[in-house]
Structure 1
Amino acid sequence: MIGMMVSAAFLSACGGGGGGSGARTEYILFAGNTAPEPVRNWELWQTDGTMAGTRLLRDLNDASGGVSKSVTEQRWMAGTGFFVADDGVHGRELWTSDGTASGTRMVRDIRPGSSHAGIDSLYLIEGVVYFDANDGESGNELWRSDGTAAGTRQLVDLVPAGCSSAPGDVHGAGNIIYFLARAECEGPRVPWRLDLSTGTAVQLYETQGYISRLENVAERVFFVEQRDGRSQLWVSFGTAEQTYPVVVDEQGTQAEVHYSLWRLGASLFFAALNRDEGVELYRVDETGRRASLVRDIAEGAASSNPFSFSAIDGVGYFAADDGEGQAVWRTDGTAQGTHRVTDPAIVGPGDIYNIRAYGDRFLFTVEHAGQRSLWSTDGTPAGTLQLLNDPLVSSISQYRQVNGWLLFSALHDQYGSEMWRTDGTPEGTVMIQDLCPGPCNGY
């Protein structure tokens, strides 16, 4: 079985190029399964977006089966991908691939022997992958890898004596990274700052609740503390002494976060509750310590409940309800630059998710009555059309682009979860292949 954590795009010297044109064909890696329950056979596959170009890259474990995958997919640089796999000999370890069978290899046997290294998530920052791993001595601690055995090492052991700090949610740039981890054997995870040039890790905050979200913007890190039934926003400038609450008024009322934190360029956005405006979109100012309302989308005490935020070409797109129904909105961070993009009368009722740029348009999904539909828009009512409306589809996710197509995962009652593609038209929105025949999941 393969747990495909991060994937990459690769170029082949020949081939037609799917939905695009030219002499080079792009391939992406994914974890694919061809066997139904209870066997399952998750292995490393590649696709160019066509049925003919979808093939097994390498069978890493002939005896594979029985363990489900965990997928967080991204493209990465220069034709290199990382993933986690169990070859039946070394346990679940970190692997890399250059898009060829011979170039697919285990990076390092972090926990020697057949035991698993306990890798949970991979985070890519400037060509280096960060992850939590257990070498059998230090517990689950923070590691890094550049794709070589020599360049794969533990960065810090925050809670020695065999305990695990359980690091995760890694962000950063240059020599500074931020992450969440325990400060002792038991207890909540707290925010840390690690200077890679010195190896010095500094705890930024001590919580009596727990920290649920973290986001790095410029040279500061924001996090949300869940405590006493509230979700409050904090900012740190790199030390415990320079960690402050983010406030929304002159009285020092701390920002209360609903949903997630969203980064757009050098700005942080979030949905906040205010008794006068309800739950609306807020933006943190240049000081990092004060947030203000972007626009009262649902006027008065009603809530527009903004969520599903995506940054596309320097503009933020999100779902919100101004009282006329949920729609896609856009913002540049100003009230004047915040307006509705889609018409609820055209899209109809439902919750909007998965906003994604595709060429000069963007796509989104609508969930209504247990069904997911796929839409495309150029930002005008006339340019808004439905690409997929199958009553048997209950989930759409995992957008990825290759050769001019946008690939995605769709959960279908008849076919299970499989890879689909779209060229931006209803006719060109189709399932690529039923990799695991019938209702079992192939992707």
Structure 2
Amino acid sequence: MRKYFLTAALLLNALFSNLNAQTLELVKEISTGFGSSNPYNFTVAGGKLFFVAKDDANQFKLYVTQGTNASTELLGPPTGINGTIYSAIAYNNKLFFTYNDGVNGQELWTSDGTVAGTVLFKDLYAGPTGSFPSAFTVANGKLFFMGNGVDGERRLYVSDGTLGGTFILLNDYINLFNGFSNFAVMNNDVYFTSSGDAQTPYGLWKSNGTAGGTMLVRAGGLIPGTSGSNYAVLNNKMYFSGFDYTNGSELWVTDGTTAGTQMVINLRTDAGGILNSGSPMALTVFDSKLYFSAADDIHGQEFYTSDGTAAGTTLVKDMLPGTSSSVPYAIIIHNGFMYLLNNYNREMWKSDGTTAGTQLLGTAPEAARFGAVWNNKIYIISGTGQYLWQSDGVSSSIGFATASNAPLIGIFATDRQLTPYNSALYFGGSAAVVSPSTEPVKLVAPLVTNYVFIGNGNWSNPANWAGGMVPPTTLPTGYSVVINGNCVLDIAVTAQAGSSIIVATGGTLVIPASLILL
């Protein structure tokens, strides 16, 4: 018999109080010689953690792990020309990635986490040259990516996870802009920059994965910078940094129609045209508003907000008063606040979205980048010394990350991203206490038995859980889950007798996968 007696508030307090300590552990020494395995591309797919690392033969290979030495297995692929694995993404409970096997060139591969299931998925460009797939993006239940067509030009590909369902869309007309690192996604469509036929200039296109649903949204030389943090979706509109040959790079918006695609505001109106641009970046949705970094004629590059209108686009904070720029370049959300990194004096700021509520928190490492929110902390990677930093986001203490078994300075992180998986944070790193060379390591939090869903979306997404902690797929006796947001159970979960899943007032739990109650 299950007893539902813990409130969400009590569970949150218990969770956060248990997340302050952490230990650093070596997952496995991949390179057993004098060098490092330099692991990267940690990706969770189908409940397994994949990563790429260099073996003793100096070849980068694909590995899978459940977090222990014994469970870490080499998957392959076989030795190729350069043995390098590039882009990777989770799709249909498998990992899709690119690899050059020395025969087919750089092509699309897949893995289900077994040696036998790690294979060439499809040779998209016959011969040794390869199609060079990149910019993997999942939308509308399909996998989109860029790849070379038979003419060598970059084309838009789509896949439903089957060989027959993997092909080029509109091969004769789409020439993707090579500057993209990713596609933008809004309402089951991907957005991208492309040229059409010889008479169509570069412009904004969209696709739902069908030929009929792939179309030009707006031409006229518009080049959207929709990759990375230069776009955000709010109220069924996509805001992005768009470039034209009159105003340069400014804030644009689209609702997916030609008429609804227009510049929101020209922040940099002084002489110079395209040479003096507003250059919006780090676009972030917070508290039903858009926040970003941009430059105007008076304040330099500073912190802005917009409700989608020119009149409603205003300066939040001039972090470096005057015409000089503080240049905020990264924004992350944690526990109901925005945290910003800027270039001026390597500062980290905290904001509730108001001028008065935007305050300097402390000094960040040089060339810092946000790595993850986990264990109720913000983890920051230094771009120079590669030291791992952390902040609780509350006090002014921003400093080197430590662990109970590594209390002194010395945890290095070489990955650009830190990956939460099964109550631990994984990355390529090193520390004297576990490994002097760069190997797969993990920060481990104390055992957590109470989990709180605070976001909206999939159960499997760590960003939707307090502390980034996703419950195990089998909830043992004594484990509790509280759903405070709108949760979609997208993976199979088994709740053993004596465990509990509580949907709090205002929360919802939709179960398209399976929930087994024992």
- TM-score, normalised to structure 1, is 0.73
- Determine if contact 2:149/2:171 at 8 Å carries over to the other structure: no
Distance 1:157 1:237 in 2: 26
1:294 CA displacement: 1.8
CA deviation digits over 1:355-409, x for unaligned, max 9?
A: 4200222111345xx4232122222337654226767958452211122221123
After superposition, the Cα gap between the structure-2 partners of 1:243 and 1:252, relative to the gap in structure 1 and judged at 3 Å, is farther
After superposition, the Cα gap between the structure-2 partners of 1:65 and 1:424, relative to the gap in structure 1 and judged at 3 Å, is farther
After superposition, the Cα gap between the structure-2 partners of 1:192 and 1:314, relative to the gap in structure 1 and judged at 3 Å, is farther
The number of aligned residues is: 390
- Determine if contact 1:165/1:185 at 8 Å carries over to the other structure: no
Distance 1:245 1:398 in 2: 32
- CA RMSD in angstroms comes to 4.1
2:390 equivalent among 348, 363, 376: 376
1:281 equivalent among 303, 312, 317: 303
What secondary structure does 1:172 align onto? Answer: strand
Query: 2:236 aligned with 1:236, yes or no?
Result: no
- Determine if contact 1:279/1:303 at 8 Å carries over to the other structure: yes
- TM-score, normalised to structure 2, is 0.63
Q: Which amino acid aligns with 2:253?
A: V
2:51 equivalent among 21, 30, 36: 30
1:299 equivalent among 321, 333, 340: 321
What secondary structure does 1:419 align onto? Answer: strand
What secondary structure does 2:386 align onto? Answer: strand
Q: Which amino acid aligns with 2:61?
A: E
In structure 1, the partner of 2:497 is: none
Q: Which amino acid aligns with 1:60?
A: P
1:50 CA displacement: 3.4
In structure 2, the partner of 1:102 is: 116
- Determine if contact 1:119/1:131 at 8 Å carries over to the other structure: yes
Distance 1:138 1:290 in 2: 45
2:351 equivalent among 331, 337, 347: 331
What secondary structure does 2:165 align onto? Answer: coil
In structure 2, the partner of 1:8 is: 44
Query: 2:67 aligned with 1:49, yes or no?
Result: yes
1:43 CA displacement: 1.9
What secondary structure does 1:202 align onto? Answer: strand
Correspondence list, 1:33-432, <5 A:
33-35=54-56, 40-56=58-74, 58-61=75-78, 63-66=79-82, 68-71=84-87, 76=90, 79-136=93-150, 139-157=153-171, 159=173, 166=178, 168=180, 169-184=182-197, 189-196=202-209, 198-207=212-221, 211-214=224-227, 215-217=231-233, 218-225=236-243, 227=245, 230-247=248-265, 256-258=277-279, 260-264=281-285, 267-287=289-309, 291-312=313-334, 315-320=337-342, 325-340=345-360, 342-344=361-363, 350-367=366-383, 370-381=384-395, 384-387=398-401, 395-410=414-429, 418-423=439-444
What is the identity percentage for the equivalent residue pairs of Structure 1 and Structure 2? 23
After superposition, the Cα gap between the structure-2 partners of 1:125 and 1:379, relative to the gap in structure 1 and judged at 3 Å, is same
- Determine if contact 2:330/2:340 at 8 Å carries over to the other structure: yes
Q: Which amino acid aligns with 1:273?
A: A
Distance 2:226 2:239 in 1: 11
CA deviation digits over 1:170-216, x for unaligned, max 9?
A: 122444321112335799853212354633411413228x5544525
After superposition, the Cα gap between the structure-2 partners of 1:138 and 1:155, relative to the gap in structure 1 and judged at 3 Å, is farther
CA deviation digits over 1:49-75, x for unaligned, max 9?
A: 33343320x2222x424254434x56x
CA deviation digits over 1:56-110, x for unaligned, max 9?
A: 0x2222x424254434x56x46632211123344332222222222333333222
Distance 1:382 1:392 in 2: 21
After superposition, the Cα gap between the structure-2 partners of 1:133 and 1:4, relative to the gap in structure 1 and judged at 3 Å, is farther
Structure 1 gap segments, 5+ residues each: 12-26, 426-443
What secondary structure does 2:387 align onto? Answer: strand
Distance 1:6 1:146 in 2: 23
Distance 2:214 2:67 in 1: 45
Structure 2 gap segments, 5+ residues each: 1-38, 403-407, 447-518
Distance 1:200 1:357 in 2: 36
What secondary structure does 2:265 align onto? Answer: coil
- Determine if contact 1:142/1:167 at 8 Å carries over to the other structure: no
Q: Which amino acid aligns with 1:319?
A: L
1:44 CA displacement: 1.5
